[in-house]
Chains A and B, each alone.
Chain A
Amino acid sequence: MRVLVVDDSKTMRNIVKGVLGTIGVTAIEEAGDGQDALSRVDAFKPDVILLDWNMPVMDGITFVRTYRAKNKTTPIIMVTTEAEKSRVMEAIQAGVNNYAVKPFTPESLSKIIETTMAKASVKKAA
C-alpha cells in the first residue's frame, strides 16, 4: 500500500508514519501542504491520502475539492483537530472518504486506514 501523508507538522507526519509502519506500510510520501501534495500525487500514485485540514499555502479542504474536481478517486482520510459535526459534514461533502480526529491513538488511526482501504477494495471489485 502506498500512502501520501499531508501535514504541515513534521512531528505529526513522523507520528503518522510510525502508525503506518505498524500496519506494514513502507511506501510513504510526505507533503507539507495541499499545494505540495498536488505536485506529488500524480507521480507517487498513492492508494490512500492522509490529509490534515489546517495548513498554510493550501489547506486540506481546498486540496480535496481541487483533487476531486480532476475526477481523482483515491481515498482520502482527513486527520485533523477539526472535530465539529459541521466540519466533518463539509469534508465528506467535498469528497473525503473517512475522518480521524486528533488526538488519536495508533490503534484508532490504523483501524480507520484499514477500514477505508477495505471499503475502497470492495468498491473497486464491484
Chain B
Amino acid sequence: MSIDVRHINAFLEATQAVFSSMVKLPVTFEKPELGTRDNQYDVSGVIGLSGDVLGSVIVGFTKLSAVQIASAFAQTRLEIGTPDFADAIGELANMIAGGAKAKFEGQSVSIGCPSVIIAPGHKVTSPSSAKSICIHCNTAAGRFTIDVAIQSSTKAQASPAAAASGRTSTAVPASRAA
C-alpha cells in the first residue's frame, strides 16, 4: 500500500489549523515515519474514512497529554474517563480528519463517527497488509501522534477497520460525529 504525500500534508495542515484556532496551542511536527500500527497509547480517537479514500486515522495520546490537550480544547479541566473527556477527544479527532479530507482534491470522502479508546498502553491494529504513516506532534501540553492508514479506493481491497487491542482495551464509543 502506498500513501499519497498530499494526504499526509492535508493532515499536517488540518492539525495545525485545529490547534492554532481552537486548542490555542502551537504544534510542531516531527518527520513523518512509516509505521505498522505498533504504537501504544493511553487514549486514542479513531475515525474511519470511506468513499474515494479508504482507511482510518488514529489520534493517539499519553494519559497526561490527552488530559492537558482535551482540557485546553474544551477550555475547562476534564477528567479522564468522563463522557466530556471522551467527547472532547472524539471532536478533536473529528476536526483533524474532517479538515484533512476536505483538502483531498477531487476525491469524495466521508468520515465516520469517532470512537475513543481509553486503556493504558493499548494498540489500535489494522489488517496486516495496512501500512501507516505516523506523525509525532509536540505541544506545550504534551506529545501526541497522528497515525494515518489510508489508500485510494481504486486500489483498496478493504477498509482497515480499526480494532483495539492491548492489556485492558476498553472501547468507549463517543457515539458522535461533528
Contact = CB atoms under 8 A, between A and B. Distances in A.
Contacts, number: 77
A9 interface: yes
Is the interface on chain A under 10, 10 to 19, 20 to 34, or 35 or more residues? 20 to 34
Is the interface on chain B under 10, 10 to 19, 20 to 34, or 35 or more residues? 20 to 34
Interface string B81-118: 00110011011001101110010000010010100000
Interface string B2-22: 000000000000000110011
A52 B84 contact: no
A14 B75 contact: yes
Interface string B58-92: 00000000000000011110000001100110110
Contact of A84 (B73, B83, B102): B102
B22 A83 contact: no
Interface stretch (B36-44, B141-149, B158-166, B170-178): B170-178
A82 B176 CA distance: 15
B73 A82 contact: no
Q: Tell me what chain A mostly uses at the interface: helix, strand, loop, or mixed.
A: loop
Contacts of B73: 11
B91 A9 contact: yes
Nearest to B91: A9
Given A14-B74, A102-B178, A9 B87 contact: yes
A80 interface: yes
Contact of B88 (A8, A11, A52, A53): A11
B21 A104 contact: yes
A82 B22 CA distance: 17
Contacts of B178: 7-9, 12, 52-55, 80-81, 102
10 tightest Cβ-Cβ pairs between the two chains A and B: A81-B98, A83-B102, A8-B176, A54-B177, A103-B21, A103-B22, A11-B88, A9-B91, A103-B18, A105-B21
Interface of A: 7-12, 14-15, 18, 52-56, 80-84, 86, 101-105
